[in-house]
Amino acid sequence: MKIFNIITMILVCISFNSRAEVFCIANGNSQELQAALTTAQDNNQDNVIKIAIGEYETPNNNFSYSQSNLQNGNLEITGGWSAVGNDPCAEQLPENTLNTILDGQSQNRVLRIFTSNDTQVKISNLIFVNGKATDMGGGLSISTPFDIDTPATTFTIENNLFVSNEAQFAAGVHIENANKIHMQNNLVVGNHATVKNSVLVFVTENTAGLYFTNNTVVNNTADLAAGVAIRVASSNVVIANNLLWNNDNVDLKFDAVIKGSLYIENNNIGVRAQTGSAIVSDLNNFSLPPRLEGGFLDFTPLAISPLVNQGKVSPCVRIVCSKPIPFEDDWFPGETDIFGNPRMQNGGIDIGAFESPHEPDLIFMNGYE
């Protein structure tokens, strides 16, 4: 893990290099947050927006970032920052990972990001709440223009909470048209779609694909299906280590799978539906009551939960993989869960966004054999 941590730090430094402009937003100043997003979208350099703990209400409309220059730089938006001395964004403590709230006030979409080609975007440690959209993505909508046939964009959505958002489609999260998408360690709960889906991801043609890993998507409602929908044209998709449970009608659905490769492994899925026939691997999936702590927004597995230590660990976490790394192995579970706890404990990782300190129950020690 030490090697992995060093590599991660190097990659972050490369991705958001010394040219990056760093913004610190504090004291619930929503106007200042939107001003930073507006500056970042046109300044032709990498940008890091640090948001201190607190609540930030959408100003007049949704928070928005729309790149107008195809050569613009990368963007990182990250919450959970706290003060040391005179610097309000000096440190990011594990206990503050979910203490930065972006609030749509039940009137506006929370955040809309529209990127140019060849951009890396990372969004982490934020709560998206009370968003409302008439189309898609009440909490978060992020995409690249449709007229880019082979986008080079990378989207990383990590360690966020999406709760009490509403839209016609994709009440919590809408993601579309990136070369590579990482959505990991997120909690999507209590969102409502007036038509369908709490999460909707479009994986378009000629792209590397999607890694949807260690997410907890539960208790979402919709007139039709309220779970996760993945629309695949011709690409690769890894669905691993997710808890998809108690969403209206369907918890996971694949639409329009024309060609490509689907890897569906080590998930607890209530109800599953799919079209197409591009599944390469369908292993260690099950449908059992998850047995969770049950506190407010706490979905940590109990000691008797079937989720404990049943997640897949990519082989590249334990060893240095040879190049090129196969797509299905080229992902990492993240260093921490959504609460900031170490992701790998007792020699394994749990299914879902929450890591428990428990060892697996004897019943599930060897999986379900």
Q: What is the pLDDT of residues 228-261, one digit of tens each?
A: 999 887 788 999 999 999 999 999 998 756 577 8
Q: Identify the CA nearest to 94 among candidates 122, 124, 121, 123.
A: 124
Residues facing residue 65 across a β-bridge: 113
pLDDT at 160: 97
Residue 348, φ and ψ in degrees, nearest 5: -160, -175
The verdict on residue 76 lying in a domain is no
Name the band, by pLDDT with cuts 50, 70 and 90, for residue 14: very low
Does residue 152 have a pLDDT over 90?
Answer: no
The CA–CA distances, whole Å, from 177 to 146, 156, 275 equal: 7, 13, 20
The verdict on residue 360 lying in a domain is yes
Longest distance between any two alpha carbons in the chain, whole Å: 57
Whole-angstrom distance, CA of residue 17 vs CA of residue 281: 37
The verdict on residue 156 lying in a domain is yes
Whole-angstrom distance, CA of residue 236 vs CA of residue 354: 26
Taking residues 171-184, report their average pLDDT.
Answer: 94
pLDDT tens per residue, range 301-319: 999 999 999 999 987 766 7
Pair 212, 254: CB distance under 8 Å: no
Q: Which residue has the tokens 């695949």?
A: 232
In this structure, what token pair is assigned to residue 166? 């509403």
Does residue 330 have a pLDDT over 50?
Answer: yes
Does residue 18 have a pLDDT over 80?
Answer: no
Whole-angstrom distance, CA of residue 24 vs CA of residue 19: 16
Residue 31, φ and ψ in degrees, nearest 5: -65, -40
Taking residues 265-284, report their average pLDDT.
Answer: 87
The verdict on residue 78 lying in a domain is no
The whole-chain average pLDDT of the chain stands at 88
The verdict on residue 45 lying in a domain is no
Range of weakest confidence among 84-98, 192-206, 268-282: 268-282
Pair 193, 183: CB distance under 8 Å: no
pLDDT at 147: 60
The verdict on residue 17 lying in a domain is no
Whole-angstrom distance, CA of residue 244 vs CA of residue 225: 12
pLDDT at 94: 84
pLDDT at 4: 41
pLDDT at 8: 44
Task: State percent of the chain over pLDDT 90.
Answer: 64
pLDDT tens per residue, range 73-102: 899 999 999 999 999 999 999 888 889 999
The verdict on residue 283 lying in a domain is yes
Does residue 151 have a pLDDT over 70?
Answer: no
Taking residues 150-175, report their average pLDDT.
Answer: 93
Domain that holds residue 302: 91-364
Whole-angstrom distance, CA of residue 311 vs CA of residue 282: 14
How many Cβ atoms from other residues are within 10 Å of residue 70's Cβ? 12
Name the band, by pLDDT with cuts 50, 70 and 90, for residue 295: confident
Pair 28, 56: CB distance under 8 Å: yes
Burial 35-49 (b: 16+ CB within 10 A, else e): ebbeebbeeeebbbb
Taking residues 98-122, report their average pLDDT.
Answer: 93
The verdict on residue 18 lying in a domain is no
Q: Which residue has the tokens 């594990």?
A: 94
Name the band, by pLDDT with cuts 50, 70 and 90, for residue 7: very low
How far is CA 149 from its chain centroid?
Answer: 24
Q: How many domains does the chain have?
A: 1
How many Cβ atoms from other residues are within 10 Å of residue 25's Cβ? 26
Taking residues 200-225, report their average pLDDT.
Answer: 91
Residues facing residue 231 across a β-bridge: 202, 255
Whole-angstrom distance, CA of residue 54 vs CA of residue 41: 24
